[in-house]
Amino acid sequence: MKDPTVCEEGHNLKQQKAPRQRMPEQDHHQRIKNFSEVPQGYTPELARLEASRCLQCKKPLCRAGCPVGIDIPAFIKLIAEGDYVGSARKLKEYNSLPAVCGRVCPQEDQCEKVCIVAKKFTSVAVGNLERFAADYERTNGAVSIPELPEPSGYKVAVVGSGPAGLSAAGELVKKGHEVVIFEALHKAGGVLVYGIPEFRLPKAIVESEIEYLKKLGVKIELNSVIGKMETVDELLGNGFDAVFVATGAGLPLFMGIPGENFCGVYSANEYLTRVNLMKAYDNGHVTPILKRKRIAVIGGGNVAMDAARTALRMGTEEVYIVYRRSRTEMPARIEEAKHGEEEGLRFHLLTNPVRILGDEKGWVKALECTKMELGEPDASGRRRPVPVPNSEFLLDVDCVIIAIGTSAHPLIPMTTPGVKVNPKGNIIADEKNGQTTQEGVFAGGDIVTGAATVILAMGAGKQSAQAIDEYVRKKRPARTSAHR
Amino acid sequence: MFKIVAKEKLSDVIYRTVVEAPKIARKRKAGQFVVVKIDEQGERIPLTISDADPEAGTISIVFQTVGYTTKQLSTLKVGDHILDIAGPMGHPTPVKNYGTVVSIGGGLGTALGRPITEALYKAGNHVIAIISARNKSLVMFEEEMRKISHELLIATDDGSAGFHGFPTQLLQKLIDEGRKIDLVVCVGPVPLMAAVSKVTKPYGLKTIVSLNPIMVDATGMCGACRVTVGGVTRFGCVDGPEFDGHQVDYDELMKRLKTYTEREQEMNQRFAGQFQEVKR
């Protein structure tokens, strides 16, 4: 009979001595009073101990589980050997934003899910280690500028400075191209700055990644709404050899239930933008935000958790998560829901909002909900929630935040006739190289896939950069620098 | 950074500021707006582009000091910089030769609607402009409007200039006289746009209004600017700012515009006096 403690590669799982190292966290009583990061990071000692748990598999499943195929055993081995900077550089061969991905990647569904160690114990904390190496490199001033090739003479425009745009820009500039990122907002970073809260991803990290790209030579034009100020076709006509569209899935969806336009109803995007991008939590900033007593956040994803936990930090007395399925189906990362629960979020599961009630002045005064139960599985494979008859009840809230998802930003498709979209409004692009229906125009990230993860968007940016490099070099002979 | 190259005080509370913004100046069309964020701590507010000079690379903004940001903006001098300006946002006015157009502006709305009137005038329409204000001293842009209209009518609430009454009464009079009107455009306070739409609706007279809901990013990302038009939720920033006046839920718009009144009062108190030092 096969010994269950010996894996396919012959590692003896009994040899595991150290348990998975927990990352120290800010106490939940304290942290709901501030916007500082919740997990505090590994010390070098903890990191080495955790790294020593990796079995260094010959055929690492974790690597196959990573959307960008990071050589996970290699970077972990370097940590175990104490070469933290070397580890960070190994990570950056595959992933230009490891400090970001170490924090926001859903590792439990990717690399860590398939980790062999998890068969017997808990998986190696790949995400925590990734974060450690990247933070070590950054905070110790060890970030180095790689040697760049001679200028190629080609010029590429990147529309949008979120994860897809940043990763494409980084790859393109390293191939010697002149890269200009056009960002519609006044700050670069896309969802990393307007969406993900400070306590989950400190903005200083995003800023330092952007500074790094600038040092590599990437130009960033802020306040530049492509499609309005200049179209994609105009960029192509004005000296750009190719355009990479990475405008994301930024349009908030509403439920279409009565009362959604009462004062005190926010999209999660608006609530988070006011707090994260516009810093409404700081009284020195001008942007206003409503401070209400009881807030219902509708939705069960990471954005719902972000909005709800932000609302707690804004001093809201009661914050409810209202989600129509059960905890098992909740798309939010387990860690986020757990953190939220520790902080005092209250979950109304199997609960579907049907109507928002308002007062005569047009302000939210309650949320009417129906209890749900799970029926047969639907197209997503999850059991379909069906209303329980006569189960309506009122939730006493004075603010509602809707976090049920976002859809593709329509501005580029609307203003670029050559670029075709699917019925959902996502740009049609080749899965492997991002080529759209228009020559010279590539696209990647959420604008192509619909709302997904940071790592997938970065992967798409990287793949498209490769394809763009091949495209521009084939399109015309390189200009010498004398012609530029 | 966007440099202020000219500034003019048009009334006690209304200013015109001209800013270097070459790319926006080249692209902008009548009916569009920009988003302005004055400094690092500033909020993003939408302001109508009231004119542009593509050659000089400048746009002008006419604004009224109502909240913190417009008050702060009014203190900036020639040579000062605005940190962020993005645009041109929103759909341009659908300009064509409709025939006869009545263009109604209320208060500041006259200045904001001026580029629309100008574009319709240049497109060959017969333009009847109605400008209105509470009293004579608040009547704006009379000379400018005269240049871009075939007939100019003035209405003041107190009768100190032109017709004693509301612009809607002048509009009703034109309709009663049997004037052939093909389009009505109204830019002004929400109650005026609502009243004008109410007058024209029974006659099925096409009416365009330019809405001013609260916005944050103004690129379609936040939905703060939700307005109900024809029973459907639209975004003022990307679907507008102009809508069919007969379809707009003005009551909801009025209520939503008051979302941050408390905070505005708090800001006004906190910063009372801060902006008084700067004159000009």
- pLDDT bracket for residue A17 (50, 70, 90): low
Question: What is the distance of C-alpha A66 from the center of its chain?
Answer: 15
- Whole-angstrom Cα distance, residue A267 to residue A406? 10
Task: Tell me the residue type at A95.
Answer: N
pLDDT band of residue A10 (cuts 50, 70, 90) is low
Between CA A150 and CA A112 the distance in angstroms is: 40
- Whole-angstrom Cα distance, residue A124 to residue A49? 11
The dihedral through the CA atoms of A232, A236, A238, A239 has a sign that is positive
Distance from CA of A129 to the nearest CA of B (A): 34
- Helix H or strand E encompassing B9: strand B2-9
Minimum CA–CA partner of A234 in chain B: B27
pLDDT tens readout for residues A101-124: 999 999 999 999 999 998 888 999
Rounded CA-CA distance A252/A250 in Å is 6
Q: For the CA atoms of chain B, what is the radius of gyration?
A: 18
- CB-CB under 8 Å, B217 with A273: yes
Residue A412 near residue A226 (C-beta atoms within 8 A): yes
Q: How far is A158 from chain B (nearest CA, A)?
A: 18
User: CB A223 to CB B264 under 8 A?
Assistant: no
The reported pTM is 0.93
pLDDT, tens digit, for every residue of A142-185? Answer: 888 888 899 999 999 999 999 999 999 999 999 999 999 999 99
- Dist. CA B136–CA B118, nearest whole Å: 23
pLDDT at B271: 67
In sequence order, the β-bridge partners of residue B154 are B131
Mean confidence (pLDDT) of chain A: 92
Closest-CA residue of chain B to A282: B41
> A209 — phi, psi (to 5°)?
-65, -40
The answer to whether the Cβ–Cβ distance between A229 and B27 falls below 8 Å is: yes
Provide residues of A within 8 Å CB-CB of chain B: 184-186, 194, 222-225, 228-230, 250-252, 254, 260-264, 266-267, 269-270, 273-274, 278-279, 284-288, 290, 361-362, 409-411
Which residues does chain A have within 8 Å of residue B21's beta carbon, measured at their own beta carbons?
Answer: none
Q: What span, in angstroms and rounded, lies between the C-alpha atoms of B225 and A265?
A: 12
Q: How confident is the model at residue A382 (pLDDT cuts 50, 70, 90)?
A: confident
pLDDT surpassing 70 at residue A7: no
In chain B, which stretches have pLDDT less than 50? 277-280
At residue B274, φ and ψ (nearest 5 deg) are -60, -35
Largest separation between any pair of C-alpha atoms in chain A: 77
For residue B244, give how far its alpha carbon lies from the nearest alpha carbon of chain A (Å). 19
Whether residues A194 and B263 touch (CB distance < 8 A) is answered with no
User: B150, B128 in Cβ contact below 8 A?
Assistant: yes
CA nearest to A182 within chain B: B86
Beta carbons of B222 and A269 less than 8 Å apart: yes
pLDDT at A482 > cutoff 60: no
pLDDT band at A19 (very low <50, low <70, confident <90, very high): confident
Q: What was the pLDDT predicted at A405? A: 94
List, in sequence order, the alpha helices (H) in chain B: 22-27, 68-75, 109-122, 142-147, 167-176, 190-200, 236-239, 250-257, 261-270
Is residue A86 a contact partner of residue A76, using CB atoms and an 8 Å limit? no
Provide the pLDDT for residue A188.
97
Does residue A1 have a pLDDT over 80?
no
Q: How far apart are the first and last CA of chain B?
A: 22
- Residue B241 to residue B193: CA distance in whole angstroms: 13
In the prediction, which pLDDT does A483 show? 43
Beta-carbon separation of A225 and B217 below 8 A: no
Query: Which whole number is the average pLDDT over A297-319?
Result: 96
Alpha-carbon span A234 to A400, nearest angstrom: 41
pLDDT for residue B274:
66
Does residue A317 surpass a pLDDT of 70?
yes
Tell me the average pLDDT of chain B: 93
